Structure 1
Amino acid sequence: MWFDEIGEVFEMFRGSFPLSFLFFVPILIIISPVSPVNAAQEFGVYRMQQFDLQGSSFGCKNSVINMEARAIDSKMLTRRCAVARLQDVTMPKYRELMSQNAGALLVILPKNLSALSLEEKQHLQSLEQELLQEAVSVPVYFATESEFLNDIYLDVQEGNTGDNAPTAWEALLSSATANGFQLVISGSPAEPLPEFEVANIQGHLSGYGIEEQLPTIVITAHYDAMGIAPALSYGVDSNGSGVLLLLELVRLFSKLYTNSRTHAKYNLVFLLSGAGKFNYQGTKRWIEDNFESAEGNMLSDVAFVLCLDTLGAGSELNLHVSKPPRDDGAGGRFYKHLEDIAKENFPDVKIGMVHKKINLADEMLAWEHERFSIKRMLAFTVSHLDTPKSSDRTTILDTRERVSTPVISRNILLVAEALARQIYNLTSQGSFQIFTDTLSVEDPVIDSWLDYFSSVPRAAQLLKPDSELVVTLEQTMGRYLKDVRKTLVKADKRDPEFVFYTGAEYVMNAYNVKPAVFDLFLAVCIAAYLTLTYFFAQNFRLIYSTLKRTVTPLSPKSKVQ
């Protein structure tokens, strides 16, 4: 009978139990629902900003992680890495993590930041601003949402249910059955870059006449960007749009200056400055170098300085000044030109003037033009923003979707036409437009630049003088301008104005592990299993005969009796 055959199989394994037990191991591994491939995964993460500015430290001071992942609402976060979605992270919650001595924080960002609701965008921008003002002593990382990260998040959330279990036994059982993850970022801690060089790129168009005797107009824009994580800081609007406007002004006016009939009696100096988001350090050094230059002061006869900042969106164009300009002065005339051109060609655009005095007690200057105004030069900034404190200037949300090609094209024409009327003294010429036909602005060119800016993070600490972006900007200016050169800025070794740190993008490893209490459960289960197996093997004949009598049917003779 079949039961006798099973008995023979048991007898075969009983004779060589230790070896026959190994027969079941590969079978158990094959049918196990746990995949060894998923036991360890790696993914890219972006470290929070870290820099020193004028003796003060900002951002995240640590970078190394080797700790267990826990949900942000867990009660036990000491020396553990809190994992949370963006909407779960608030400043009160962050301060609570610090009070619990949490070891690190990993924030999972949505795949498409532009698809966030207005409330979610405001939450992220507010979080960026406040975190950068905090003394962040633990590693803070950001990661883009993925299927694996979602699994980690759900698993740590499930493990967190044990903290809220009604009984100690249920809490212990929940801890033992939950999946855990060990998050590891190896390598050396972030280190300062004391020899880091910031590049300024300058070039000029010489006016008609004796160059040294002609007035100069300086047009400048800083090319770096800022966000909570350097590797996510694209700054397409602030200040990619300003750089794009400057490059288009370079192209348009270089055509005018190559024609003897339109060669103006003004020198035009174009400057792309570095480290603009760090209190305009590149601009500061450029001004100092030119005032102290033995070859002749380029800034000795400056008519005005035009700064371009954040011009890729909105229906407003504001002229930011440190001192209200006189109506008959260069600043007043330029503002009047902007108003006239807007009325003639762009009636939907609102032109405004914003006056803000320079507060020398502030650690950070509001606008780039204030660097020039401190040196008593007439300077102003054109921007669609109405305040320098706008969080739109320092956010990782500043991506390609935030800017509009038609708006940038419109702003290029507004600024170019106003500048042309200024240098050619065309105030009384009536309504007309200079930049048409061969001098028109081409939208495909604008799109190409915007796509390029949105593909390269432009945090200052990522832009070395020989980086692709800096070289591309230098080559573009060299195509149209004279004497294009790159000047390098280093921080003072004794009292550095700025210090950048290594480490913006890392690879994080996540290892699927069980908590320590699982080892206790596993040891108890193994001991019980071995005990039962031992007694089963020692008393196999008794168990076998008992089972045989139980299941063997009675013979016909026994039934008759």
Structure 2
Amino acid sequence: MFEEASEVFDNMFKSSFPLTLTFIVFLPAVLILVSPLPADAAHEFTVYRMQQYDLQGQNYGSRNAILNTEARTMEAEVLSRRCVMMRLADFSYEKYQKALRQSAGAVVIILPKNMSTMPQDIVQQFMELEPELLATETIVPVYFALEDDELLSIYSQTQASSSSQGSSSAAEVLLHSATANGFQMVTSGAQSKAVSDWAITSLEGRLGGVGGEDLPTIVVVAHYDSFGVAPWLSYGADSNGSGVAMLLELARLFSRLYSHKRTHAGYNLLFFLSGGGKFNYQGTKRWLEDNLDHTESSLLQDNVAFVLCLDTLGNGDNLYLHVSKPPKEGSPQHTLLKELQTVAADQYPEVKFSMVHKKINLADDTLAWEHERFGIRRLPAFTLSHLESHRSATRNSIMDMRSVSSSLDGAGEATAGPHVDLKKLSRNTKLIAEALARVIYNLTEKGTNGDLEIFTEQMQVQEEQLASLVDWLTTQPRAAQLVDKDSAVVSTLEYYLGRYLKDVKRHFVRADKRDPEFVFYDQLKQTMNAYRVKPAIFDLLLALCIAAYLGLVYLAVQNFGFLYGILRRVTAPRVKQH
């Protein structure tokens, strides 16, 4: 029986070898070659690109937006042309610079959605690093992503793969390279380009005084835009959501006073919400030019008592009055200084009020505070803030959220870190309102005590109103590149001003096309795909295995008789010897 089967099998290979070989040998090989490898999209997620802008001819941020390269972590020995992934907990400026020095193809920094999970020292360290990340332009695309379970799984697998590359055994590295899964990180957007004809919008409204035509004017200013290392993650709760909320509450309070004849004061009040504050106060600069250089009728051309700028007032028990020139005794600005001291001492003894004098340094690339824009035009101005220095990291950070435990796309509560304390914001609003009222109504000259309160009962500061304003301002990023003249932010602010003030107007500033002071770029938010792929060494080893398989099959067919003989001897029953 074995002999007959052998002859049949041998004749089959000899007579129809090409057809048989096709189905038995080449067909499995073809199936292996054409079968799809694990290269489907493993995960799709949103990424937020680092700032890219030009300011006064200087380039800042990441100059590239296209990403299509394999993922690695900092544990890998070779980072060249790789997408380097880092978690915020492991991030440092030294690691970031190492990736750039090794010509990394891109950098993706993974941020936790809930910042309360991060130690406060890590949050503070990152806030202080943000200006350094933007200080020098880089051609490497730098993105930020909010972590989720799938993204963390991708990071863990990539980290394990990157760590194995440091093995001492070349064989282990080769084997791991052949068996491990990698991830190809690809962005779906196009290359970034300059946004032409972008308009920064500012808003003004006024309350007219009574008692004559040449009335002194008090100007209250706050810039509404936010800033951070990534525009789409910049919510600016304290800087300067708190200042905007305070300005709107002051407008509400004084509009009620000015609506009654008995309390209609002899001062004009001008409220100004400026755009582009984080870009060297571009909105304020153009507004001053329009009012002082290109118009015949403007409250700024008349008697300006002083300009009060509100910046970062939502926390702390310190209150600083930043000035470029100390006010002269007897001047309205000196009167406000004294009234702030008096109200703080008599009504809010926990508040430590002081004045900080800093001259305007025109050699710096950017101005320190908004009042310096007015000081350059010789208008008496100062800034109120709970920050002692303009270099505070809170003013330009994506960590400046409603509260430190807030997710980067939601709200929450917290007790530490950069956040807005509504009770302290309400207290600071009332303190400033009381001091302003005492100046406007000359209460000091009338011999009133510092403990006299004007805004009480039905006229008191509404903490609920402040809370709703801060909550609304921090539900959306307000970076200047994202807030155009038709945005909901501008429309809503205009609506609020229109409820309390008269002659509400918009002012626009566009960059000069020949010599632009600022240039913004697009592609700041994109979709990234992480594709699961095998490394290139896997294709090489697979090809070698297929070639070896085909070679063995060919040798087996050519020497079938020999192999069959060996098989017969092995399987033949043994004959018992007597």
What TM-score does the superposition give when structure 1 sets the normalisation length?
0.90
Corresponding residue for 1:501?
Answer: 521
Any conservation in 2 of the 1:162–1:172 contact (CA below 8 Å)? no
Any conservation in 2 of the 1:231–1:457 contact (CA below 8 Å)? yes
2:273 and 2:60 mapped to 1: Cα distance? Answer: 25
Corresponding residue for 1:149?
Answer: 151
2:550 and 2:477 mapped to 1: Cα distance? Answer: 59
1:138 and 1:114 mapped to 2: Cα distance? Answer: 30
**TM-aligned CA deviation for residue 529 of structure 1:** 3.6
1:312 and 1:214 mapped to 2: Cα distance? Answer: 32
Corresponding residue for 2:462?
Answer: 442
Corresponding residue for 1:523?
Answer: 543
**TM-aligned CA deviation for residue 552 of structure 1:** 9.7
Mapping 1:333-482, distance limit 5 Å:
333-401=335-403, 402-427=419-444, 428-430=447-449, 431-482=451-502
Change (3 A) 1:38 1:133: same
Any conservation in 2 of the 1:223–1:243 contact (CA below 8 Å)? yes
Read off the aligned partner of 2:109 and give its amino acid letter.
V
Any conservation in 1 of the 2:64–2:139 contact (CA below 8 Å)? yes
Q: Does 1:239 align with 2:233?
A: no
Corresponding residue for 1:220?
Answer: 221
Partner SS for 2:222: strand
Any conservation in 2 of the 1:114–1:397 contact (CA below 8 Å)? no
Corresponding residue for 1:193?
Answer: 195
Partner SS for 1:130: helix
1:250 and 1:545 mapped to 2: Cα distance? Answer: 104
1:39 and 1:481 mapped to 2: Cα distance? Answer: 54
Read off the aligned partner of 1:463 and give its amino acid letter.
V
Deviations 1:71-114 (A, max 9, x none): 22322222221111124333333332222222211111122224
Q: Between 337-346 and 63-72, report the one with greater CA deviation.
A: 337-346
Partner SS for 1:132: helix
Any conservation in 1 of the 2:220–2:307 contact (CA below 8 Å)? yes
**TM-aligned CA deviation for residue 540 of structure 1:** 8.3
- Percent of aligned positions that are identical: 51
Partner SS for 1:284: helix
Partner SS for 1:271: strand
Mapping 1:38-437, distance limit 5 Å:
39-210=41-212, 212-299=213-300, 300-401=302-403, 402-427=419-444, 428-430=447-449, 431-437=451-457
**TM-aligned CA deviation for residue 443 of structure 1:** 2.3
**TM-aligned CA deviation for residue 185 of structure 1:** 1.5
Partner SS for 2:545: helix
Change (3 A) 1:413 1:544: farther
1:153 and 1:443 mapped to 2: Cα distance? Answer: 43
Any conservation in 1 of the 2:246–2:466 contact (CA below 8 Å)? no
Read off the aligned partner of 1:466 and give its amino acid letter.
D
Any conservation in 1 of the 2:276–2:480 contact (CA below 8 Å)? yes
**TM-aligned CA deviation for residue 531 of structure 1:** 4.3
Change (3 A) 1:298 1:550: same
Any conservation in 1 of the 2:89–2:118 contact (CA below 8 Å)? no
- Could you tell me which runs of 5 or more consecutive residues in structure 2 were left unpaired when the two chains were aligned: 1-16, 404-418
2:567 and 2:390 mapped to 1: Cα distance? Answer: 87
2:390 and 2:298 mapped to 1: Cα distance? Answer: 30
Q: Between 130-139 and 472-481, report the one with greater CA deviation.
A: 130-139
What TM-score does the superposition give when structure 2 sets the normalisation length?
0.87
Partner SS for 2:342: helix
Corresponding residue for 2:411?
Answer: none
1:249 and 1:549 mapped to 2: Cα distance? Answer: 104
Deviations 1:505-532 (A, max 9, x none): 1101111111111111111222334445
1:485 and 1:533 mapped to 2: Cα distance? Answer: 85
Alignment length (residue pairs): 545
Mapping 1:482-501, distance limit 5 Å:
482-501=502-521
Read off the aligned partner of 2:422 and give its amino acid letter.
T
Deviations 1:286-307 (A, max 9, x none): 0111012434132121000000
Read off the aligned partner of 2:185 and give its amino acid letter.
L
**TM-aligned CA deviation for residue 548 of structure 1:** 9.1
Read off the aligned partner of 2:196 and give its amino acid letter.
P
Any conservation in 1 of the 2:312–2:395 contact (CA below 8 Å)? yes
Any conservation in 1 of the 2:205–2:270 contact (CA below 8 Å)? yes
Corresponding residue for 1:5?
Answer: none
- Could you tell me which runs of 5 or more consecutive residues in structure 1 were left unpaired when the two chains were aligned: 1-13
Read off the aligned partner of 1:460 and give its amino acid letter.
A
**TM-aligned CA deviation for residue 403 of structure 1:** 0.8
